[in-house]
């Protein structure tokens, strides 16, 4: 199967969240299954082309935009340690910037940038003579490609047998665009924009809706989220569209690329460890504490709870800010944070780091190595999300024997099972109601297990032996792709 994956983020070249990890791991797994994937993404100014071995090709593509054409050069490289080709689309006015979506405030021309990209994907396929069976688009940034496929490109022989699959990673970001601009850039024109058309939502253009309506099959990143988003509480206003397309909507659980996220081979760790080697894991914790100025006179036995996260309302940061200072002042645990996001949260965490230097380790920023180290060094991983389409970090944490404390929502419900003291099954601690009391109760249950053998070893063994491999998830996608192809042929 020829699969063209189009994404605004692909790790390690450009990453803002889990989308980048998935866009990189799926194609590698598909290639292992004998499929033929390529990846297309924008050439952002910050991508280190030398480091990743990208070469400028002699191809210039011509991309129709509204009533004019724009030009872009193609760079070619590979996903690391693979033979999967990656094409970078160079259009410096749009992409030679420090951010993916903004820096830090959203760029005002994201409509134009991503409509251009969504169309350039097709011109790239033609230019490199890759006739796709599937165009796999991800989130609102590439949603317009589903409309371009059905409206323009399916009529060309080259794409006449191509099916479109659209994956929703997060409904909270929909791409609300000004109609007169978006309908112009996309070439569809205002005649196709009217109340109830596939381009219209609440008098704006909504890219997410376009992806949902035009795709042959729609997937989202966990089975529970696929159910949740049919109801208003989680649908971000798109329940009608999602229910209309309900027969074509499938939840495919995201997977972990264990060649990268595995403590036995992870060079970022202070010390590598395998299943059951908890004394080495403990050394990782002690190294981390030492590096952060905690000495032997301090109580080294306190549990270490960490977070690696975007600091947004989605991630349940309000629950944490409401009680964290109290927990620290009571000496319940140590807390480590790596994150970027809203200033109301970063200000709070910086304050805590300043006030409790021995208990709270706060790193505001983006740091891949530190993220791996935190998964290795921590006892618990906190993720009290309001909603969570899938979440990768709780799965990474478990692989590192770090026990997740999560709110049961979306992919967290599909991946974290409460530890049961009778059966010794389960590998985390969970709560459901979004309130401080239930949150606190789950933390207290977690800390009590930390102090109880053999439960503490049982739960960590359970966590490390879970299998959420991206190979499984890639296979599920291949099934969806077959259904999509059956629909168009």
Where along the sequence are the contacts to ligand ADP (CB under 6 A)? 17-18, 21, 308-310, 338-340, 366-368, 371, 390-393
Task: Tell me the closest approach of the beta carbon of residue 308 to ligand ADP, in angstroms.
Answer: 5
5 vs 308, which CB is nearer to ligand ADP? 308
CB neighbour burial string for 193-205, b if at least 16 within 10 angstroms, e if fewer: beeeebbbbeebb
324 vs 390, which CB is nearer to ligand ADP? 390
Q: Let me know: does 136 contact 3? Beta carbons within 8 Å.
A: yes
Strand partners, 421: none
Task: Tell me the closest approach of the beta carbon of residue 310 to ligand ADP, in angstroms.
Answer: 5
C-alpha 57/C-alpha 304 separation (Å) is: 49
C-alpha 245/C-alpha 161 separation (Å) is: 21
DSSP count for the chain of H helices, then E strands: 18, 18
Task: Tell me the closest approach of the beta carbon of residue 6 to ligand ADP, in angstroms.
Answer: 18
Residue 69 φ/ψ, nearest 5 degrees: -120, 150
132 vs 376, which CB is nearer to ligand ADP? 376
CB neighbour burial string for 168-180, b if at least 16 within 10 angstroms, e if fewer: bbbbebbbbbebe
Count of CA atoms in the C-beta half-sphere (13 A) of 322: 12
Task: Tell me the closest approach of the beta carbon of residue 312 to ligand ADP, in angstroms.
Answer: 8
Task: Tell me the closest approach of the beta carbon of residue 406 to ligand ADP, in angstroms.
Answer: 11
Task: Tell me the closest approach of the beta carbon of residue 362 to ligand ADP, in angstroms.
Answer: 11
77 vs 391, which CB is nearer to ligand ADP? 391
C-alpha 336/C-alpha 355 separation (Å) is: 14
347 vs 486, which CB is nearer to ligand ADP? 347
79 vs 308, which CB is nearer to ligand ADP? 308
Q: Let me know: does 219 contact 249? Beta carbons within 8 Å.
A: yes
Task: Tell me the closest approach of the beta carbon of residue 112 to ligand ADP, in angstroms.
Answer: 24
39 in helix, strand or coil?
A: strand
Task: Tell me the closest approach of the beta carbon of residue 237 to ligand ADP, in angstroms.
Answer: 19
DSSP secondary structure, 79-146, as one string: -TTS--EEEEEE-HHHH-SS-SSBSSSB-TTHHHHHHHHHHHHHHHHHHTT---SEEEEETGGGTHHH
17 vs 132, which CB is nearer to ligand ADP? 17
Tokens coding 396: 């990474």
162 vs 222, which CB is nearer to ligand ADP? 222
Question: Which residue is closest to ligand ADP by CB?
Answer: 18
Q: Let me know: does 188 contact 147? Beta carbons within 8 Å.
A: yes
């Amino acid at each position: 199967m020829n699969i063209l994956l189009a994404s605004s983020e692909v790790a390690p070249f450009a990453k803002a969240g889990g989308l980048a990890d998935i866009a990189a791991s799926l194609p590698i797994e598909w290639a292992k299954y004998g499929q033929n994937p390529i990846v297309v993404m924008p050439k952002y100014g910050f991508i280190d082309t030398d480091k990743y071995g990208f070469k400028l090709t002699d191809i210039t593509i011509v991309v129709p935009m509204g009533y004019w054409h724009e030009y872009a050069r193609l760079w070619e490289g590979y996903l690391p340690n693979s033979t999967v080709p990656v094409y970078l689309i160079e259009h410096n006015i749009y992409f030679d910037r420090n951010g993916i979506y903004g820096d830090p405030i959203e760029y005002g021309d994201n409509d134009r940038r991503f409509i251009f990209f969504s169309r350039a994907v097709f011109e790239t396929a033609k230019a490199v003579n890759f006739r796709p069976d599937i165009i796999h688009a991800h989130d609102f940034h590439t949603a317009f490609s589903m409309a371009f496929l059905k409206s323009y490109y399916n009529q060309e022989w080259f794409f006449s047998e191509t099916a479109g699959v659209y994956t929703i990673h997060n409904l909270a970001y929909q791409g609300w665009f000004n109609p007169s601009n978006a309908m112009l850039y996309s070439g569809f024109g205002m005649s196709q924009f009217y109340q109830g058309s596939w381009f219209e939502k609440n008098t704006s253009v909504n890219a997410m809706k376009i992806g949902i309506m035009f795709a042959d099959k729609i997937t989202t990143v966990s089975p529970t989220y696929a159910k949740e988003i049919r109801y208003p509480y989680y649908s971000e206003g798109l329940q009608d569209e999602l229910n209309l397309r309900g027969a074509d909507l499938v939840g495919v659980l995201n997977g972990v690329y264990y060649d990268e996220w595995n403590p036995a081979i992870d060079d970022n760790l202070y010390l590598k460890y395998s299943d059951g080697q908890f004394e080495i894991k403990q050394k990782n914790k002690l190294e981390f504490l030492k590096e952060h100025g905690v000495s032997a006179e301090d109580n080294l036995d306190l549990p270490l709870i960490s977070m690696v996260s975007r600091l947004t309302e989605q991630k349940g940061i309000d629950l944490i800010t409401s009680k964290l200072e109290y927990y620290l002042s009571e000496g319940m645990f140590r807390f480590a944070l790596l994150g970027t996001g809203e200033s109301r949260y970063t200000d709070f965490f910086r304050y805590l780091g300043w006030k409790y230097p021995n208990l709270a380790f706060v790193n505001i920023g983006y740091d891949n190595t530190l993220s791996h180290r935190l998964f290795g060094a921590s006892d618990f991983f906190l993720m009290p999300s309001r909603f969570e389409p899938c979440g990768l970090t709780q799965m990474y944490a478990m692989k590192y024997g770090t026990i997740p404390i999560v709110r049961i929502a979306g992919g967290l419900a599909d991946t974290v099972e409460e530890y049961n003291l009778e059966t010794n099954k389960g590998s985390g601690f969970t709560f459901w109601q979004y309130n401080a009391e239930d949150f606190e109760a789950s933390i207290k249950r977690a800390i009590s297990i930390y102090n109880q053998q053999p439960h503490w070893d049982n739960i960590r063994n359970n966590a490390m032996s879970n299998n959420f491999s991206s190979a499984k998830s890639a296979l599920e996608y291949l099934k969806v792709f077959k259904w999509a192809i059956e629909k168009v042929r």
